[in-house]
Amino acid sequence: MRRIVRDQLRALLDAGTVILVEALPQPHYDAEHTPGAVNVPAELTAEQAAALAPDRDATVVTYCSGPSCGRSKVTAAAFTRLGYTDVRVYEGGKADWTQAGLPFEGSRAAAGAS
């Protein structure tokens, strides 16, 4: 399974060339998620994958809470099984993003901004 680090992910986000997927349950995503991320809180279906990334050669990056969370790897494996060719896991996840002081979107982020 291919991995990606924060700086590589930020470059892809800045270029707008990545589909970023948070693999945590909906309440965690709603509270805070990496800017631009979409949520796949349960098992990925072929229909969901096609809606999120119609191009199977698109770069897809999955993440969850951090290195001890395995949800991102499960979701990445599902994309790979469905024929996606450029799937990567951001193992640092929310923990690494937070440690770097980077912003989040969501209800918790909005409450902190007020």
Expressed as residue numbers, the domain containing 7 is: 2-104
Which residues are 22's β-sheet partners? 39, 63
The number of domains in the chain is: 1
Q: Is residue 51 part of a domain?
A: yes
Q: Is pTM beyond 0.85 here?
A: yes
In-domain check, residue 110: no
Do the domain assignments include residue 109?
no
* CA gap 58, 23 in Å, rounded: 18
| Mean pLDDT value across the chain | 94
CB 27 within 8 A of CB 57: no
Q: Which residue would you say has higher pLDDT here, 96 or 1?
A: 96
How much is the pLDDT for 1? 83
Percent of the chain surpassing pLDDT 90: 91
Kindly state whether residue 114 falls inside one of the protein's structural domains: no
- Say which CATH number the domain at 94 has: 3.40.250.10
